Structure formats: structure tokens, C-alpha cells
Chains A and B, each alone.
Chain A
Amino acid sequence: MSPTPSPPTTSACGTCALNNAANLRRLGVDPSGHDLVVALAGNPNTGKSTVFNALTGLRQHVGNWAGKTVDRAEGGFEYHERRYKLVDLPGTYSLLSTSEDEDIARDFLVFGRPDVTTVVVDATRLERDLNLVLQILQITTRVVVAVNLVDEARRHGITVDFRHLSRELGVPAVGMAARRGTGIEDLLDAVERVALSPTSFGGRRLIHRNRRLERAVSHLAERVARHVPGVTNPRWVALRLLEGDATLERAVAEGRLRELVADPAELRSETVPEEPDA
């Protein structure tokens, strides 16, 4: 069962300028003693497992079809002397529905609170995949968008303006062709940047077109933000409460909302007691 990690690169390779991921050390299945947690999310068949394998050196089975990974796979890598644990989530089209694979993905993003969430999207199906990116941005803004399969997109005559995409989404967007192993270094840089940033990125918040809904969400979000200082996604919490999310309702009633939804970096650096909710 246990896949063998690839042999460690020798020192000569490590310093070679041609090695495009010279600072990457693949740790295989051993994420022990990690400093940071990176989640890998994305639509089915966008190449998440390929990215996962490229980063960890593992050889999780990769197949060209949707719905191949239904479980959570974990692995580790080291970059610039920091150890990362990488969690490969099942591919999902959205986080709205109720199937088990979507639940696994959403619960991990919300309650596992990874330091960085890398959303792998397919350059040839950007519009469809951005739906998921936008949904994830409502939960966390510690996001890197990895636009995969840029080589295939080029074959289809599509080019992506990454600067524009980054600006629109408010989080880094990098292009890659994971099957060929290109773009890994860019991805690692972006992941590191987001992971080490003390403040949250200004990810795009969804403005609801229905004005009554928008008013209700902003109003409730304000109350949530006041109630839980340091919450990064008050609008998402507000929306979930309006939708009747049982887990969050219970957390509010029991005064545990902060431990559920606050920014992991802030939780680590300080321990502000939560205002009792009476």
C-alpha cells in the first residue's frame, strides 16, 4: 500500500539553476511535525491529484475522469525549510449540495481551517471552475488559485490573463501544467506568500444581486463580526446562518463560534477570550 517517496535530490541538483523546484523537498506520506497545512481543492478532473503527486512525490493513482478521488489523501513537502502538510480533498463542483464528497471538502475548509487552500482550476473550463473558487473565497481568503492545464488551453487557443484574474479574485492566481511539472515553483511561492502573510488577503466577496438578501447578509455579518472579533468570513457565517446551518447554529448557541471560524494565524498568535453570548 505505502507508495515510496522519490529519492531525495542530491545537493548538486538542489543548487542547479535549471532545477525549477530546487527548494522543494518531497516528504511522501510523512507530514509529521508540519508547520503549515495546505488544502488542495478543485472541481473533479482538474488535476488535483497530479499537483498532489508533484508536490509530495507520492504516486496517488491519477485518472482522466471525474470522481476518481473520493477520500482525503494526505502527504507532505518541505519548501524553504518549512514543512507543509498537503491534504488532497475530493473534487467537487460546488460546496452547496449535500453529497458526502462535498461535505468532506467543505467541512475540512471550514473546520479544518487550513493555512492555505489551493484551488486547482482547469484553464479550459475556467468559468465553471470559478464558481467553486468564489464559493471557497466566501469561506476563506487564504487562497491560491492554481490554473492548471494551461498547455491544453493553449492548444485550444485560449490564453489566461493571470494578473487580471488575481486582481479580480483578490488572491494570487498562477498558471501551471502539472502533468509536465511546469509552474510548480510559482505555485509554491504563492502558497508560501499566503501562508506567511499575517493578515488575510482581500479575497472577492460576493455581492448578492437580490437587494433584500444583500441587506440581510451585511446586517447579520456586522453582528457576527462584532460578536466574534477576528472572524475572517462574517458574511459567509451570516449566509450559512440564514440558510439554517445546524452546526453553526449550535456553535452560536453554545458560544463556540470563534473557535470554529476564526483565522488560524490569529488563533495561533493570540488568545482573545470570546465575548460571552447571553
Chain B
Amino acid sequence: MTRSPILDETDRLRAELPENFRDDIVESLYAEAARISATSLSHGERPARPTLDKLLDRILTHRVWGFLAMGALLFGVFWFTIAGAAVPSDLLSNLLVEHGHEQLNRLSRLLSLPDWMSGLLVDGVYLSTAWVVAVMLPPMAIFFPLFTILEDFGYLPRVAFNLDRLFAKAGAHGKQALTMMMGYGCNAAGVTATRIIDSPRERLIAVITNNFSICNGRWPVLILLGTVFLGQLAPPPLAAVVAAASVTTVAALGVLTALVVSWGLSRTVLRGATSVYSLELPPYRPPRIWRTLYTSLIDRTLKVLRRAVTMAAPAGAATWLISNITVADASLAAHLVDLLAPLGWLMGLNGIILLAYVVAIPANEIVVPTILMLTMTLGTNLFGAEQGVLLELGTAETATVLVQAGGWTLLTAVNLMLFTLLHNPCGTTILTIWHETRSATWTAVATLLPVGLGIVVTSLTAAVARWAGWG
């Protein structure tokens, strides 16, 4: 085969070059950039960096104060969300669930629709959709803008900076903290963001642990659980504070889990050296409040809500169907719940919750409404509910239903919050993991490891609680 003369020439010339000629290229580049920059810029009297920025960084990235500030900021955001969402949530629930449902029922009677059709559409599809909107829209409309303002201000890289040391100790890449920040919005986006990590080993760790960042879909569920159960335990003035503290705790547990799992992986199947990198702390920028409000409402809130609604409709229909199709003297749902009950008991949850998780695999957002619907169908009939119909309930009534009809305890609520943190990623994220890793094995690991962990952790808390006599 004849070689190209250019390639021959290349080989000849390369042989004459010093071994480290690549370093020389970089050196020439840097020297030139420094020269051009120095001659193009003129500095005024003012210091290169405003002192306010420096002061803020000294606090927000401090070894001790940094973490306290982080906790305080998160807590503040949750408190504001929970306290602020209560009134609009009740209003919406009144409007959509109580009145809307009644009107639709009247309409279906007027059109004399067959029972199964009005049941499926009005009681199944409409009610669960209305419930999702009423319960999720207000907290999201408050939470997402607040979070986006923090991001716009430049706070997220400081969080990454604080966590960086911990991730390095866990044998993971420091940039993993950044991909986790992305995961707090959406795990699928967080998994894609791991492309910024060069080393395949560290990238896999980041992919697998991204699910421990609580995503857009799970924040509202946690906020709801915290409000309905833990908040109700405290006297009313403190309710929002307790609820916010519980959500902050779960978020912190998520970071802890990510660290522990990264540590475990980097010491077993994904062993190797930690790479060094530089993390840039951008200047603080005054957030553009109106723009932030607008984009976070349109891009985040409505997007998440739309997804929840599109998932809630079929899930509502599915719930209604399994509650109303009878096989051998009991509904399909009842059989399934019986089947899942032992595992549910072990995990300090119950069969209904696990069945709801199966129904809600495509989107975690609708777990709570599905649980409610199933509980009211299968548990003691409290509010005169029909089969598979989600009744119009306020926050206090929701708790009553679950405690009295579902036999819930504090343990159930706490374990459900833990399970919300520790379970399989949603369908979209699993697909993204497959797309990014192209490996069935690692996709399976990333999917099953969190559920496995969730089962172990909730079983442990359940065992401890029962041993101590709380369960």
C-alpha cells in the first residue's frame, strides 16, 4: 500500500520534535493570550473584585458557616413554599375538586352516560388530574422561582464548592457536585450533564448517584408529605417550620446517600484514582427577578405540571379500572395489595403504597393521589367514597383518611418520605441512563441500586421503630 507523502513527511518531522512539544503549544497559546489581554484592558482605580462578593464568598464557602448557610437557605425556601402554598392549594382544591367534580357528575347524568364511562372519565381521569393540579401547582409556583433565583444569583457553584471536598474524599469527581445540582431540577438532565466528567469511572459513579438528588417531580411529593403528616404533628404556628425541616432533612439525607454510595462504588467495582479539576466560582449577579419568575413558571412549573397531568389521567383511569374489575369476589386492586402487603409491612409501608408505586412508575408525581384513591377504595369507608373515586379532601381530611382508613402511623409517613428519596429513577431518567452509558448492566445497576437501598433503609427504620414500640 502506498502511503501518502504528506503523512510520510509528518512522521519524519514528528521524529525531530522534542517529546513534550504539546506543552510548548499550550505555552505559546497562554503567552499570546496574556499579551493580547494585557494590552487590550485598562483597569481603573476600583478593586478587581467588589468587597461584597468577597465577603459573601467567605461566608458561603466557609468550612462551617458554608454548610450552615446552605441548610438555612434550603430550609427558608421550603418554609416559604409550604407556608405560602397552603391557602391557594385549598382554593384550587375547592374549585377544581369539589365544585368541578360535582358539575361534571351533573353533566354526565344530564347526558345520561353509562355508569362505567362516567366512572372512568369523571371519577378516574378527571379527579386525579384535578387533584394533582390543586396540590402541586401552588408549591411549584413558589418553589421553582425561588430555586431559580438562587441559581441565577450564582449560589449553586458555591454549593458544589462546599460539597467538592466531600466528594473527593468519597473517591468521586468534584464535578459530580455540579451534576447533582442539575439533578435537583431533573435527574434526566443531571445524567446528561455528567458528560462534563472525563473519566468514565467517575462519570459512572455520577450517573448512578444522580437519582439521590431530589428532582422536580419529587419535591412536591415530599413537600406534600411533610405538610400533611409531620406538619400536622406540631401545633399550628409551628406546622410549616416542622414540615420545612423534614423536607430539608430528606434533601440532606440525599446528599449523604450520594456520598456514601459514591464511596462504596469507588472502593469496590469502580476503583481508581480521583482526577483533579478546577471549579470556577462565577461572580454573584443580581438575579433578574421578573425574568426568573416568568421562565421558571413557564419552563419548570408548567412543564412539570403538564407531565404530571398527562401521567395522572391514565394513572387515574388505571386505578379506577383495577378497583372496579372484580376477580373471584374481590377487585383486582385488592388482590394486588394482598400480594404486596408482606413486603409493605417489612418496609414499614403497606401494600397500597407499593401498588401505587407500581401504577405510578412513569411519573412519581402522582404517587400520593393514587395512594389516596386506593386507600379510600380498599380501606374502611369513611367519607362514603365510591369504588376508585378520589374524594374532595382538604389537607387535614387527607391525613384523617390515611390514618383512619389506611391505618397510617408516623412511621408510614417517614418511611414514605425516605422511599420517595430512595427508589428507582423515573422512566425518562432510565432511558437517559441507557442512552448515555449504552450498557444494560449499568442501567440496571442505576435503576435497581436505589430501590434496593430504599427497601433496606425503610426495613431498618421499620424494624427499629417497632422494636422501640413506635410502629
Contact = CB atoms under 8 A, between A and B. Distances in A.
Interface of A: 1, 3, 44-45, 59, 61-68, 70-71, 90, 96-101, 124, 126-128, 130-131, 133-135, 152, 155-161, 164-165, 168-169, 179, 204, 206-210, 212-213, 216, 219-220, 223-224, 227, 239, 241-244, 249, 252-253, 277-278
B437 interface: no
Contact of A61 (B4, B6, B160, B295): B295
B280 interface: yes
Contacts of B45: 157
B32 A64 contact: no
B63 interface: no
Contacts of B13: 216, 219-220, 242
| Of listed A65, A152, A243, A253, residue having the most chain B CB within 10 A | A65
Contacts of B28: 206-210
A220 B16 CA distance: 13
B33 A130 contact: yes
B36 A65 contact: no
B2 A278 contact: yes
B325 interface: no
B70 to A, nearest CB: 15
Contacts, number: 181
21 contacts: A1-B303, A3-B299, A45-B280, A64-B153, A64-B154, A96-B25, A96-B26, A101-B196, A126-B41, A127-B37, A130-B36, A159-B42, A161-B39, A179-B285, A209-B31, A213-B21, A216-B16, A223-B6, A239-B25, A242-B14, A242-B17
Contact of A100 (B5, B6, B49, B195): B195
Contacts of B288: 179
Nearest to B44: A157
A129 to B, nearest CB: 8
Interface in B1-36: 2-7, 9-10, 13-14, 16-18, 21-22, 24-34, 36
Contact of A59 (B30, B175, B280, B295): B295
* Top 8 A-B residue pairs of the complex, sorted by shortest distance between their CB atoms: A157-B44, A157-B46, A127-B37, A130-B33, A210-B24, A216-B13, A99-B198, A64-B154
A161 B196 contact: no
A165 B5 CA distance: 39
A241 B9 CA distance: 10
Given A156-B50, A164-B39, A253-B7, A65 B25 contact: no
Contacts of A100: 195
Nearest to B292: A62
Given A65-B157, A243-B22, A252-B6, 4 more contacts: A65-B178, A70-B192, A208-B28, A216-B13
Task: Indicate the size class of the contact surface on chain B.
Answer: 35 or more
| Of listed B32, B178, B192, B303, residue having the most chain A CB within 10 A | B32
Given A71-B192, A206-B28, A277-B5, A242 B10 contact: yes
Given A44-B280, A67-B196, A252-B7, A156 B17 contact: no
A168 B36 contact: yes
B181 interface: yes
A63 B40 contact: no
Contacts of A239: 25
B151 interface: yes
Contacts of B47: 156-157
Contacts of B10: 220, 241-242, 249
B427 interface: no
B83 to A, nearest CB: 27
Nearest to A124: B283
B57 interface: no
Contacts of A63: 151-152, 156
B interface majority secondary structure: helix
Interface of B: 2-7, 9-10, 13-14, 16-18, 21-22, 24-34, 36-50, 151-154, 156-157, 160, 175, 178, 181-182, 192-193, 195-198, 279-280, 282-283, 285, 288, 295, 298-299, 303
B157 A66 contact: yes
A241 B11 CA distance: 9
Given A64-B282, A156-B49, A277-B6, A206 B32 contact: yes
A157 B49 CA distance: 9
A98 B198 contact: yes
A100 to B, nearest CB: 5
A220 B9 CA distance: 7
Contacts of A130: 32-33, 36-37
Nearest to A241: B10
A131 B33 contact: yes
A208 B160 CA distance: 38
A169 B36 contact: yes
Contacts of A65: 151, 154, 156-157, 160, 178, 181, 282
Nearest to A226: B6
Given A156-B46, A157-B44, A213-B17, A168 B7 contact: no
B163 to A, nearest CB: 13
B196 A70 contact: yes
A277 B7 CA distance: 11
Nearest to B159: A65
Given A127-B33, A213-B25, A64 B151 contact: yes
B6 A241 contact: yes
A73 to B, nearest CB: 12
Nearest to A255: B4
Contact of B43 (A135, A158, A169, A179): A158
Given A66-B282, A158-B42, A158-B44, A206 B193 contact: no
A131 B151 contact: no
A206 B35 CA distance: 12
A168 B39 contact: yes
Contacts of B4: 252-253, 277
A65 B280 CA distance: 8
Given A71-B192, A209-B28, A216 B17 contact: yes
A7 B18 CA distance: 59
A62 B283 CA distance: 15
B198 A97 contact: yes
B195 A101 contact: yes
B354 to A, nearest CB: 31
A39 B408 CA distance: 57
B193 A70 contact: yes
